[in-house]
Structure 1
Amino acid sequence: MKRKFLAGLIAVALTTAVIGISKNENIAKADTNIANVGVSYSGHVQNIGWQTPVSDGQEAGTDGKGLRVEALKLNLTNAPKGAAIEYQAHVQNIGWQDWKQDGQEAGTDGKGLRVEALKIKLKNMPGYSIQYKAHVENVGWQDWVSDGQEAGTDGKGLRVEALEIRIVKTSDTTVGVNYSGHVQNIGWQNAVENGQIAGTEGQGLRVEALKLNLENAPADAHIKYQTHVQNIGWQTPVSDGQEGGTDGKSYRVEAIKIALEGMPGYSVQYRAHVQNIGWQNWVSDGQEAGTDGKGLRVEAIEVRIVLTGHDTTPVDFIPVNNNPEPTPSQPKDDGDHAVLPTGINGGGYEYKGTPLNNYTLSNEVNDAIGKTKNPNVQFMDDHGNKGNTFEGINLDAQSVSTGEMTKDYMEKDIENSYKDNNGGLYTYNGKVYKLAGIYTESTKLDSNNADKLANAAKTLNTQFVSNADPQQTYDRVFVNYEGNTNEIVRIVTYFTPAN
């Protein structure tokens, strides 16, 4: 997925750097000083080989010669104990490689393959930012980017010809922030801090809840945050390690606002990695990261505290009233037509064409037509965690029903678990079972009556695969609000013995 570059970041005057966000964003900027901590790096260049290492904003590679960078090695200098520099290269014919660290080689040498893009980030370095820019074939020098963003291009077949990298101090104190995410199929992750990633990238997993805490902050300082959650809308703001979002309900976090209290001279900056979008630009001090009203999941976030030297007035959080009294223009619903699921109207949700699952009605309809939760066995997911097969399939099927996931992606997601489950998804009575097929069918009904919806569901997917075992067949119905109507989606997933 292509990332949007964060342009216009840096203006340097002598040894003072200013870290900004987008010039179009109304965000505080931090006056910062470059300290003795630095970075050294060397490039393996076409027709040249490994160059002598350079450091702190100097050029590695070449410009004006049309030579490709083929590999890179990066190291920190004068860094705190436990600190590390991590980097990832996008390579011709390979794509994104695994992350490398502290002098390891990213890219290739001896294969004649070009590096096309690079991401760099710091680990255990609160108060510092890593900034870098690439000289790209047919483009020239790009703008500076920072802290895990993409420099270069991917999907365009353009070589990186040179790089400049530098470390900038963003805070003169050790004030920081740590945070952890509750992630689909993973649960609560270990806490990370100061610009590191909480959540996942490239795995299509939703963040379901978040907890944030300040580090080394004044006694009366607080970090407050508000999450926009699927089927709920904007929740009541929480603070200082309390849970924002939900866990155990499989609801996605769709947006977040974060602000500081009792910390004059500091700004909290954050950004979200969003389904179908990727990393958004940094925002700050109560602004919204993510989306609301689009039904898109937040998959990861990064948060950092920056010393600004001046007071910032945070953007107000969203007032919460998730159960408004009906007004004359909004009469109380009588159950005869489709309505938004309970708890959405007062939370700032506006229907914009993305189906929204009604969990309560879905469960009522499944119970009414006797749907069971099969296959009801354990499997090992691709993160090494044991889980219930039905629950795992159900999460994907729900996303397919609302259009968040394609049927092909669901098939690949299931097949990705074969390597951890003896060549199939699960084992039952000594037999390994693999996916035989996924079938979907839908209809629409302008009703919120469970019995009417159940009757409509019975007309869907009535033809089953011959000799399919019902106990090894996932078969569920989803009721999704789709703007003055309910869409009833039945998803049937068949499994057969691998041998």
Structure 2
Amino acid sequence: MRGKKCWKRVTAVLMAFMMLVGLVMTNGITSEAYWYNSEGERYPNVGYRTHVQSKGWERKLTLNGRTSGTVGAGKRLEAIQIIVEPGYGVGVEYRTHIQSKGWEKTWKKDGETSGTSGEAKRLEAIQIRLTGTNKNKYDIYYRVQAQTYGWLGWVKNGAYAGTAGQAKRLEAIQIIIMPKTDYPTDYEGFDGTIGGGFVDMGKNPTTNGSGAVSYMTHVQSYGNQKWVSDGSISGTSGEGKRLEAISIKVNNAQLNNISGGIAYTTHVQTYGWSQGWKYNGAASGTRGEGKRLEAIRIQLTGQLAQYYDVYYRVHAQTYGWLGWAKNGSIAGTSGLAKRLEAIQIVIIPKGEHAPNPLPAAPGAAAYVH
């Protein structure tokens, strides 16, 4: 396991380290501080500021994982600017998904504005990635506070963060540059989880199911949905449609090329658990029989099980979103004749926290019987 490193919040860094010299953005936004790890390694600052509903542009640049935007105020982010401290051979580019406009066609870079101002349009998702000759020396991590869901998980290097197809606003963001092999949660003062930073809808996904874990459900009257990944929603909500089958697969290239796979079994109306375990993309459940899924178990196999946990939760008839289950425990219901309507699945490094419970109640059970 990686040793915990000493993370200094910006207030402490301001007292302990040099001020940056000069401007790092042509529009007058300045970077404020250096930051180091406990071994004295110097990492490039990343600075960012957001345009917030009814407040306008934040006056100061936010640095290195601190929160830009608002939490608990119900205010949408409308635009963002991001800059990386010069001198490290890295820059940054980013684009946002804007209400009624979709994804920006061109990436903004190095302090340019992504989003809108004066149009009352919410940001719904964002991608951020490093550029420059030394971009492969670092990872850029980011996570967002999304309406209804709260803080989503940390993602990195151009992955989607936020939501799609649900008309949910971004409310806040945190961004940090890290050396390869480190996670934000290695550092004191950070919480959250790694992965599960984007919640898509399987009926019309903006991703192609190429994440660390991807899954596809067969839904009553709709048939097979499209593949989604890494905490996105497969199924429906509020439509009263049962899940009838599911297929799940992992992408080992997204999991440090560690060997192993994924196994899963479903509790099917009238059949129970009789189908046994399915593996690596095979369908579990039924098609064309009108049978509902009522519960599911999922576990990793091979070396993957030594390094990662698989978390999953279901949206169950009457109960809504249940709590997160993990590593082969049961999610869903039994003996109640309740259909599963949707599912989320995410793979997280061993020892990391469970995903955010929202929109389920904190502490909600994963299994009702």
Give the number of the structure whose residues are more often helix, by fraction. Answer: 1
Q: What TM-score does the superposition give when structure 2 sets the normalisation length?
A: 0.49
Q: Which has the larger radius of gyration?
A: 1
Q: What TM-score does the superposition give when structure 1 sets the normalisation length?
A: 0.38
